[in-house]
């Protein structure tokens, strides 16, 4: 069963689409969501900063460590230098060509 799922190109296309949606939406959400103030909620502030950092690391990994793609939608420096949607789009196009060649 797992072998069938992993061998299914629609599974990989769906996974790539979810990763694309994540790296397209997360920078805008992160820029507009503020962490609690450290003076009033130090534990909440630390957890929020840590979570945002981990999610930015995920964005950078999905972007294959490439510099920004020049299409930053917010004023975030992280978005300008860590987010690149080109690698995931290339993989999606390759999967679509593979599916087309199987037909």
Residue 85 has what pLDDT?
Answer: 83
Q: How far apart are CA 88 and CA 13, in angstroms?
A: 10
Q: How far apart are CA 41 and CA 38, in angstroms?
A: 5
Tell me the pLDDT tens digit for each residue of 10-68.
888 999 999 999 988 888 888 888 899 999 999 999 999 999 989 988 888 888 877 76
Q: Domain range holding 76?
A: 2-102
Report the predicted TM-score, pTM, of the whole model to 2 decimal places.
0.77
Residue 36 has what pLDDT?
Answer: 92
7 in Cβ contact with 102 (< 8 Å): no
Domain count, the chain: 1
Residue 66 has what pLDDT?
Answer: 73
pLDDT class of 2 with cuts at 50, 70, 90: confident
Residue 25 has what pLDDT?
Answer: 87
- 78 has pLDDT over 80: no
């Amino acid at each position: 069963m797992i072998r069938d799922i992993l061998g299914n190109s629609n599974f990989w296309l769906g996974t790539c689409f979810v990763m694309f949606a994540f790296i397209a939406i997360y920078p805008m959400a992160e820029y507009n969501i503020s962490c609690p103030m450290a003076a009033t909620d130090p534990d909440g502030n630390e957890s929020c900063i840590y979570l945002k950092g981990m999610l930015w690391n995920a964005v950078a990994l999905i972007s294959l460590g490439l510099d920004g793609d020049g299409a930053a939608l917010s004023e975030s420096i992280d978005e300008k230098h860590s987010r690149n949607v080109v690698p995931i789009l290339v993989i999606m196009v390759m999967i679509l060509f593979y599916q087309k060649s199987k037909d």
